[in-house]
Structure 1
Amino acid sequence: MNVKETSEKTGVSTDTIRYYEKEGLIPKITRNRVGNRDIDDKIIRRINFAKHMRAAGMSINVLKEYTDLVDDAKDNTERQKQIIREQIDIMQERKNGIDFAIEHLEYKLAHYDDHMKKIEEN
């Protein structure tokens, strides 16, 4: 499968696929006899994994560390779990911040006529 087909299948842009390869987040992609990238199912799985971990807020650096652990011959299960736990903590902090912002906006909306409108008129 070429990069364009892979992009359509994964929903990841061709530029991002090339970037993931350059950064080592996916294995080096072999090229066919005319020089086009030839992407197999293993790489598609890795692209999807990277896509989902990025959507979960994982930085490129942390994702690179994680994928290096996956590719290492040693059993790095405990460190991989630790990275995921750390990411959960990061996302929980973000969620708490978003929850606070939503609550604040809901309060402002609920009290708009008796509070916000008076402030805005001055």
Structure 2
Amino acid sequence: MNIKEASEKTGVSSAAIRYYEKEGLIPEIDRTEVGNRDIDDRILRRIKFARQMRAAGMSIENLRRYIELFDAQEDNTQEQIALLKAQLVEMEERRDDIQAAIDHLHFKLNHFDDHMKASEEELRQLERQHEAQE
């Protein structure tokens, strides 16, 4: 199949597929006689895998390393697991940061009248004082 069809099947843009190939996240894609990419099921699986790992927050560099380990002849299971564990820790930290922000916004909304309005009024007074001093 061509790159447009692969894009439709995987949900990955044609530009991203070209980028994945350029960065070594998927193997080099075979070409037809006229030079068009000829994508088979093996490449489709690799594109989907790369998309899933990018969606999981994995950097291009770490994903490239993981794929190198996968493609190597020797057993690199432990290093692959280490990369996945490190990614999990990073994503859990991001989740915790996002949850803290969500909790903060819930607090602001739940205490808008007794907290936000008072804070905003203090800021307005400081702004007026600053303007008066100029």
Tell me whether 1:93 sits opposite 2:102 in the alignment.
no
> Which residue of structure 2 aligns with residue 30 of structure 1?
30
Partners in 1 of 2:115 and 2:25 — Cα distance? 51
Partners in 2 of 1:82 and 1:118 — Cα distance? 49
SS in 1 for 2:27: coil
Partners in 2 of 1:112 and 1:74 — Cα distance? 59
Question: Could you tell me how far 1:32 is from its partner in structure 2?
Answer: 0.8
Letter in structure 2 aligned against 1:83: L
Tell me whether 1:12 sits opposite 2:31 in the alignment.
no
> Which residue of structure 2 aligns with residue 81 of structure 1?
81
Q: Which runs of 5+ in 1 are unaligned?
A: none
Q: What's the CA shift string for 1:39-67, capped at 9, x where partnerless?
A: 01011001000000000000000000000
Partners in 2 of 1:93 and 1:115 — Cα distance? 28
Larger radius of gyration: 2
Q: Which runs of 5+ in 2 are unaligned?
A: 125-134
The RMSD of aligned alpha carbons is: 0.7
SS in 2 for 1:78: helix
Question: Could you tell me how far 1:26 is from its partner in structure 2?
Answer: 0.1
Question: Could you tell me how far 1:34 is from its partner in structure 2?
Answer: 1.2
> Which residue of structure 1 aligns with residue 61 of structure 2?
61
State the identity as a percent. Answer: 60
> Which residue of structure 2 aligns with residue 70 of structure 1?
70
TM-score (norm. length: structure 2): 0.89
TM-score (norm. length: structure 1): 0.97
Partners in 1 of 2:119 and 2:96 — Cα distance? 28
Partners in 2 of 1:79 and 1:9 — Cα distance? 31
Count of residue correspondences: 122
Partners in 1 of 2:52 and 2:76 — Cα distance? 20
Q: What's the CA shift string for 1:72-100, capped at 9, x where partnerless?
A: 11111111011000000000100110011
